[in-house]
Structure formats: C-alpha cells, structure tokens
Amino acid sequence: MKFQIKKEDPHSSARTGSFTTAHGMINTPIFMPVGTRGTVKGIHQWELEGDLRAEIILGNTYHLYLRPGLEVIQQAGGLHPFMHWSLPILTDSGGYQVYSLADSRKITEEGVQFTSHIDGSKHTLTPESAINIQRIIGADIMMAFDECTPSECGYTYAKSAMELTHRWLKRCTTHFDQNPPLYGYPQYLFPIVQGSVYKDLRIQSATAIAEANQAGNAIGGVCHPTGQLYEVTGWVCDILPKHKPRYLMGVGTPKDILECIALGIDMFDCVMPARNGRNGYLFTTEGIIHIKNQQWRTDFSPIDVGLAHQASRYYSKAYLHHLLRVGERLGGQIATLHNLAFYRWLIEESRKHITTGTFRAWKDKMIPTIMRKI
C-alpha cells in the first residue's frame, strides 16, 4: 500500500493524499463512518456509497465476533459481501471494547479474558486471535491488538500497558506475516501508539510503532476527555513517518478534526455524527442545533441550505423536531444522514483549502462558526 502525498499546507502540517486498497482508493484527510455491527445505524449501504460518498467505513471486531459470529461471516465470504459493501473496510482490534469491560475482564501476558455483555459467556482475545478474526472479517485495514488505558491513569500503569502493547504488536506482526489473507486480496496492519498523556511514553511508543514498519500507523487512547488531545497528537505526529497515513482513533468533534488535520492526521472515525443525530444534536454550517428545543417547532426552513445533501435541504427543522420529539425512527435516520453529510462536507472543504494553501486561515475562521450553539 503506497501512500501518496499530493498537497501540503504551507502554514500547518495538514496534507492531502491517497492510498489504494483492493476495494478502492481512499483520499485523505478522510472521516470513516462507524458501522459497529456491520451497519451504520439507520443508514443503507447505498446511501453511504451514493449521496454521502463514503470511501471507507469502520467495523468492530469485538461485536462482529460475538454476533453474527465468525462462522456466518466466513460462509458469506467476509464482511464485504455479507453486508453488500464494495468499498474499503477498517476494523479495530477489539482492544477498546475489552477496555470498556473493566468489570468483567482480566488482562494477562497471553491476552484478555472477558465475559460477553450479551450472554455472560467466557472468551479470550489474544494478539493472534485478533489477527485471525480480522482475517475472517476480511477488513482491508486491520488494527494490532493493544491495551487501551483510562484517561486518568498513573505513569506506572500507562508504561506497563504501553510495553504490553509493544510486546503484543510483535506477536501480531509475526502472526500476520505467517497467515495470509483468506479471500485473495491484500490486507494491511496498523499498529497503535499508546502512552496516555505522558510525553516520554508517547514518544517511546511512537518510535516503536514506526519501527514496526507497517502500512500505516494509528494513535489510540486520546479520545477521552483529558484536555490534552492536541498536545499528545502533536508529540506523536512529530515521530510517526510522514510517508505513511496517520489514523487518530475515535476522534471526534468538528473542531478536533480540523485541529488534528492541521497537526498532520490523515484518518478519523467517531460515532458522534450518528449518535448525536439520534439524540437531536445537529452539526450545521452555521453552528450546532439541538433540534428538540421548542424554538424549532415552527421553523419551516431547511435543516441546512449550506449542504448539498438531500436530507439537509428536503426536510424542515420543524418536521425533524416533530419526528424526534414523538420518537419516529425516520427522525433519527434523517438526523444521522444530515450529520454524516456535514462531516463529509467538512472533510472535502478541508481538502480544498489544503490544496489552495489556505487551510489554516479557513480553519481558524470556521471553528467558531460551526462550534457555536444556535
């Protein structure tokens, strides 16, 4: 997988680029809609591929492993044909979900023993099994198994988790190299930088991850509310190789995306546009709207005329207010479509301004506008 840098912003570390997988080209910067269980909630695949122009989506190893299970996915020929999605897929390793099961998991050198949140059954994830699962899923981009630390953890724990992540990475790469893809097309492995909020650990981890010499690199453990997102991202981007894509996991708000593009990040994912949409929070070109508020009850103007997507222009704020207030599922679908369209617009505008060398000035002007509450 060759990452080609096309344009660099002269006033920041932002860049545009592209790389190609077996299922298509990915242009960067890129935002990946999250399809946790093989679906972006409430959205058809043809909507993602059509009007939303999604170039890649994310699937969740932990959830897909539990349901529908590996036997079903393998019989289908992988996740692509199972969910009828022809474009690239990235899967996480399951490490973050295991991290979130703090009360029902045990971490050892071998891997993680955990209890299913569905039926209480016992399971074990190891670096080797995480690779096997992602081989069966058939993801174009696979993540190495890591230990994700809490946002507020001590230095000793952060260091121990980072070192375990590095040891697991060696096992991941060995198993990845020894076990070829199942479906006849190449898959790529991204290791993950850890180290919490400690600069020396982040630098040490970024150095180790870069030395693994995989197709791209990811930064984990930064989506928690530590208040140090930009600082940590900057430390890591100074170390990770420029000629490979950098993926910031689980980020984030429109402001965070723009600021981290400026720091040199190429790939993002987050549940925020879909989750916020279902809860009535809309990102628009003029600011953030809580559409359930009474002020929108008789506002018959389009949701956002600044976006070209049909859902944003076809329906009124009053209609969406009504749907979400009465709990109609169409309301959540419209709001999700709109928010994903906004994120697509934000990314495409970023690419345009990087190309023309105006990204930093545009970003600084845009953030106060799109983050203000209307």
Task: Name the amino acid, one letter, at 164.
Answer: L
Exposure on the CB side of residue 328, measured as CA atoms within 13 A? 13
Is residue 141 within a helix (H) or strand (E), and if so which, with residue range?
A: strand 141-143
Phi and psi dihedrals of 304, rounded to 5?
A: -160, 105
d(CA 272, CA 34): 9
Active-site annotation holds for 269: yes
54 is written with which tokens?
């999604």
d(CA 111, CA 130): 10
Who contacts 357 (Cβ-Cβ below 8 Å, separation ≥6)?
9, 10, 11
| Cis amide leading into 252 (omega within 30) | yes
Active-site annotation holds for 146: no
343 is written with which tokens?
């994120």
The DSSP annotation for 158-172 comes to HHHHHHHHHHHHHHH
Tell me if 179 sits within 8 A of 132, measured CB to CB.
Answer: yes
Q: Which of 140, 256, 269, 304 is catalytic?
A: 269
Q: Which of 92, 140, 256, 266 is catalytic?
A: 92
Who contacts 108 (Cβ-Cβ below 8 Å, separation ≥6)?
none
120 is written with which tokens?
């209480």
Active site amino acids: 92, 269
